[in-house]
Amino acid sequence: MTHHRFSQIDVFASGSFTGNPLAVVHDADDVSAQVMQMVTRWTNLSEAAFLLAPSVPTADYRVRIFEPKTELPFAGHPTLGACAAWLAAGGIPKRDGVIVQECGAGLITIRRSASGHLAFAAPPMVRHEPVDPPDLGRALGLLSIDPADVVDSSWIDNGPGWMGLLLRSAQHVLDLPTPTGSAKHFDVGVVGLHPAAHDTALEVRAFFNDSNGSIREDPVTGSLNASIGQWLLQNGVITAPYIASQTTGTVAVEESAGEIWVGGAVDVRVTGTIEI
């Protein structure tokens, strides 16, 4: 057994304890992938992040990101949460103004936004194509979505495997019932536009299957909001900058020099040690 610094971070919060919680284990170079997966399941959170020494000279730190069923090459709220935990533990970036994270998807650049929040540069999607009718029908059935309410659908996968569904309005997204079914490999993001006078532009909900196959809802999802931004900005559905609502949190999306930046409030809520 070894003791490791441990943090729990509230990411994309719109107030105290309103964001997506993330467990972070520091100095985890001596922790095996099998144990990382075990710790992630034990936390009962959507994801956990493990900080390690970088393997490339331009990176400030390396992170391995796990959800209860598998390791992910990239995820958004773990990226910002891991960065916040690394900074709070005394991490000093090699370059002024930016932090460079090494992960399974490569090098991710993180910076402070104009509001002072952390924001990451969205990585390119690894799959972006229309959804086949059988996959679309399965998703609509499990989420109780009327096909007539779907404006567009696309694979918008930047690591976790997201399918994107654009509904006719934000209210259609909010009115979706809590899923009661089960599935394997289910990662679906649903989005709708608010009226122009609303204080946020989009309403987003994210659904995934846990290690038992039950479909759960993720509180606020950085990777999904990143690929939604890339998808809808490319199609001219929305313009940046904008704010997206997701459950009780909010995500800020900006566009600069051809890059999409995804950010929000990140608060360190718990610090201590964990025995592994």
Residues assigned a catalytic role? 47
DSSP state letter for 239: -
Q: Is 210 helix (H, G, I), strand (E, B) or coil?
A: coil
Cβ within 8 Å of residue 1, ≥6 positions away:
275, 276
Amino acid occupying residue 22:
L
> How long, in residues, is the chain?
276
Q: 10 Å Cβ neighbour count for 248? A: 15
What tokens does 37 get? 């997966």
What tokens does 74 get? 């990239």
Q: CA-to-CA distance for 206 and 194, rounded, in angstroms? A: 17
Residue whose tokens read 């989420």: 143
Among 209, 204, 206, CA closest to 229: 204
DSSP string, 150-169: EEEEEEEESSS--EEEEES-
Q: CA-to-CA distance for 208 and 69, rounded, in angstroms? A: 11
Residue whose tokens read 């992938």: 33
Residue whose tokens read 């992630």: 40
Amino acid occupying residue 5:
R
Among 8, 97, 99, CA closest to 62: 99
Residue pair 12/251 in contact by the 8 Å Cβ criterion: yes
